Structure 1
Amino acid sequence: MTVEPSTDAGANTPSEPVTIDSQNDLDELVSDYDVVLSDFYADWCGPCQMLAPVVEQLAAETDAAIAKVDVDANQQLARAYGVQGVPTLVLFADGQQVEEIVGVQGEDQLRSLIENYTN
């Protein structure tokens, strides 16, 4: 797991998405930050590629840490969260999974979802 220091986002959250390589990486991120949006994606997935710039923008502009989980490289982790289609977004707040969204979502919708748990 590589965490870049924050520049704009509040609460010292990473300003770029964090690549997750194991359950321990995800657990650590979820315990370190109040709100974490995990993007379960695949490189071959067209909708995932459409969503990528949105999650990068959210990492830079919101108080949520953004996790990127490649489902092909982390099949066991994807199974643990019941990911059956990509992209799947899993939102954690205060260490608990609180939301799961399957499919491409608009930036405004995701920003609003994050703000429900950060304010």
Structure 2
Amino acid sequence: MSERDQIRERKAEELKNKLGGEGNDDESTSDRNEPVHVESTEHLQELVDEGGVVLTDFYADWCGPCKMLEPIVAEIAAETDATVAKVDVDAQQRLAQQYRVQGVPTMYLFADGEQVEQLVGVRQKDQLVSLIQQYA
């Protein structure tokens, strides 16, 4: 079994345990292996308050660099223990203002409920994974 498969299995098991071990088809165990689309300020706060590492990607559908970053962010969600949150700045303008997002893509990294990094622009996968591991 590859390391990637082991990580996926571990994340699926952790999520299953968080959900009380019940197999709810609406919230499949693979959900946290994919980016979470943030629906409100409160939703992002809940994700950050859960603890651990949260990589938050503020993006826009019309943004070319954001489209380049999208597969990288998806891979990070699948391959790391970090929660990956995506915030559409057009749909969540108030949240983008709250975090002073002036350009997209902008990423924030949270660790144990605290903001620890802010990155503006496209970053390589290995740089993002390294940052996540630093705070994990």
The 3-state SS of whatever aligns with 2:33 is coil
Q: Which residue in 1 is equivalent to 2:99?
A: 81
The 3-state SS of whatever aligns with 2:84 is strand
Which protein is bigger by CA-based radius of gyration?
2
Q: Which residue in 2 is equivalent to 1:52?
A: 70
Q: Which runs of 5+ in 1 are unaligned?
A: 1-5
Matching residue's letter, 1:85: G
Equivalent residues in 2 for 1:98-113, closer than 5 Å: 98-113=116-131
The question of 1:17 aligning with 2:35 is answered: yes
With the length of structure 1 as denominator, give the TM-score of the two structures.
0.90
- The structure richer in helix per residue is 2
**Alignment partner of 1:71 out of 89, 103, 110:** 89
The 3-state SS of whatever aligns with 1:47 is helix
Q: Is the 8 A contact 2:37 2:87 kept in 1?
A: yes
Q: Which runs of 4+ in 1 moved over 4 A?
A: none
Q: Which residue in 1 is equivalent to 2:133?
A: 115
Q: C-alpha distance in 2, partners of 1:96/1:32?
A: 11
How far residue 9 of structure 1 moved from its aligned partner, in angstroms, is 5.6
Q: Is the 8 A contact 1:33 1:64 kept in 2?
A: no
How far residue 7 of structure 1 moved from its aligned partner, in angstroms, is 3.7
Count of aligned pairs between the two proteins: 113
How far residue 32 of structure 1 moved from its aligned partner, in angstroms, is 1.5
With the length of structure 2 as denominator, give the TM-score of the two structures.
0.79
Q: Which residue in 1 is equivalent to 2:54?
A: 36
The percent identity for this pair of structures is 58
Matching residue's letter, 1:83: V
Q: Which runs of 5+ in 2 are unaligned?
A: 1-6, 16-31
Offset from partner CA, 1:19-76 (integer Å, 9 cap, x none): 0010100001111141100000000000000000000000000010000000000010
- RMSD between aligned alpha carbons? 1.6
